[in-house]
Amino acid sequence: MPELPEVETVRRGLAPAMEGAVIAHAAVNRPDLRWPFPADMAARLTGARVTALRRRSKYILADLDRGETLLIHLGMSGRMTVSGQTVGVFHHAHPAPAKHDHVVLDMDNGARVTFNDARRFGAMDLFASAGGHWLLDDLGPEPLGNAFDEPGLVAALRGRNTPVKAALLDQRVVAGLGNIYVCEALHRAGINPRRKAGRVGPARAAALVPIIRAVLSEAIAAGGSSLRDHRQADGALGYFQHVFNAYGREGAPCPTPDCPGHIRRIVQSGRSTFYCPRCQR
């Protein structure tokens, strides 16, 4: 499932086509994805201007001038791509409709935004911009925002009896982190993913904050990680997977300088964890 860097990469790719533009025509080609689309979604979107395109955790939020916000979740295989928009001297023509093009937004600037989702684990919803949405209500701080800081993370981990990896995957502790980037952050921090969160000392917990920010920022700059389905809005692959230190590198030498260890894979809560047992304590 796309994590924060992949979703932010898609948001940045969509912004030039969507922000400030009017949805001239919205086509909704099926009644549901992960759950049913809201009533009259096509009519509620058609004619609305996108005033801002934001991200919260792993969700893209398109604020509309009608007082509603379109929530978009990519799910396991969802892709949002832009066609028909002139970028520099290049022009991307609209492709032929594809089997899994479930929602198509034709913008008044000539761009077409298509939500394609082969497995249909993605979702779209509309909610009042002045209110809230149940998927967003209990989310923790954004890891790239000012609300995510050293004292806050130290307090959030204190006394927790769950493994530190599970604690960092808890979206109430920090929003947007997933399996890949928690593995990478813990490897850089030298923290064993099995260590109880409450037994990570304050100094080591505090040091995780800039490390998490650095890992996420580098991944965004690389266009995210394309392991299976992720594509940027222009269809290009991300390439952060080529510089993973731990994730997916079972049996490979640990890249930490002077560490003689090798990356090991274990399963935690049904998910693969990759770490070095020699330098992660």
Please report, for residues 23, 58, 133, 245, 261, the alpha-carbon distance to residue 279 in angstroms, rounded to integers and kept in the order given.
52, 31, 42, 12, 7
Identify whether the C-beta of residue 189 lies closer than 8 Å to the C-beta of residue 279. Answer: no
List the one residue out of 23, 216, 222 whose CA is nearest residue 126: 23
Active site residues: 2-3, 58, 271
Question: If you ran DSSP here, which 8-state letter would residue 219 be given?
Answer: H
Question: If you ran DSSP here, which 8-state letter would residue 185 be given?
Answer: H
- Rounded CA gap, 142 and 160, in Å? 21
- Rounded CA gap, 38 and 124, in Å? 8
Question: If you ran DSSP here, which 8-state letter would residue 210 be given?
Answer: H
